[in-house]
Structure 1
Amino acid sequence: MFWYGRDPSGWGWFTMSVGMILFWTVLIVFAVLLFRTVSRSADGGAGTGNAQPGPTPEQLLAERFARGEIDEEEYCRRLTVLRPGGGAGSGKF
């Protein structure tokens, strides 16, 4: 292959080694990203699929009441609006 004394010098071997390391790095990164994309699609959406949902609006309202940010009257009024069939369609607005 390397006739007439034209073999790769020290830099040639170094360049080939670095090139091979970069090739395998790119190939492995591509495979991992492809696997993550496919597995995320199989879960049915973005994210990890095991994320905990945030607190409900009723829980947030209860926390505000417990901290004293709102009084009992306002808590009851807002809780009525939040619950299904509550004050949203009753024409109070």
Structure 2
Amino acid sequence: MMWWNVPGMSGWGFAIMSIWTVLFAALVIVGLVAAARILRAPADRLPQARPTPEDLLGERFARGEIDEQEYRQSLETVRSVRRSGIEA
């Protein structure tokens, strides 16, 4: 190698330079990953859409928690409340 005999640069100098290069590259990578997580975090924390009362009744009916008569009665009650403009 042509530049191995640079004055003042010993084997330890090359070793330290190599270690600092690897550490700097690792620092850049960690910084980029941290920046990506910070920029992406608000999108992950958006509130989820709340299920409607009809959806909740449908899930309870599908699980067998309520029978068909109770489902239809509750569904009609929910729809009549919504038509009258009363918010629960």
TM-score, with structure 1 as normaliser: 0.49
Equivalent position of 1:46 in the other structure: 43
Q: Report sequence identity in percent.
A: 40
Task: Pick closer, same or farther for the CA change 1:34–1:48 going to 2, 3 Å.
Answer: same
**Aligned residue pairs, count:** 77
Structure of higher RCO (CA pairs closer than 8 Å, 6+ residues apart): 2
Shift of 1:78: 3.6
Partners in 2 of 1:26 and 1:78 — Cα distance? Answer: 59
Q: 4+ runs of 1 displaced by more than 3 Å?
A: 35-38, 85-89
Q: Does 1:70 align with 2:72?
A: no
Q: Deviations over 1:51-93 (max 9, x none)?
A: xx5672322321221232112343234433376246966xxxx
Task: Pick closer, same or farther for the CA change 1:65–1:35 going to 2, 3 Å.
Answer: closer
- RMSD value over aligned CA atoms? 3.8
TM-score, with structure 2 as normaliser: 0.51
Equivalent position of 1:21 in the other structure: 22
Find the residue that maps to 1:29 and give its secondary structure. helix
Equivalent position of 1:84 in the other structure: 82
Task: Pick closer, same or farther for the CA change 1:86–1:76 going to 2, 3 Å.
Answer: farther
Contact 1:65 1:75 in 2 (8 A): yes
Equivalent position of 1:56 in the other structure: 51
Task: Pick closer, same or farther for the CA change 1:68–1:87 going to 2, 3 Å.
Answer: farther
Gaps of at least 5 residues in structure 2 are 1-6
Partners in 2 of 1:16 and 1:63 — Cα distance? Answer: 64
Partners in 2 of 1:12 and 1:74 — Cα distance? Answer: 82
Equivalent position of 2:4 in the other structure: none
Task: Pick closer, same or farther for the CA change 1:23–1:36 going to 2, 3 Å.
Answer: same
Gaps of at least 5 residues in structure 1 are none
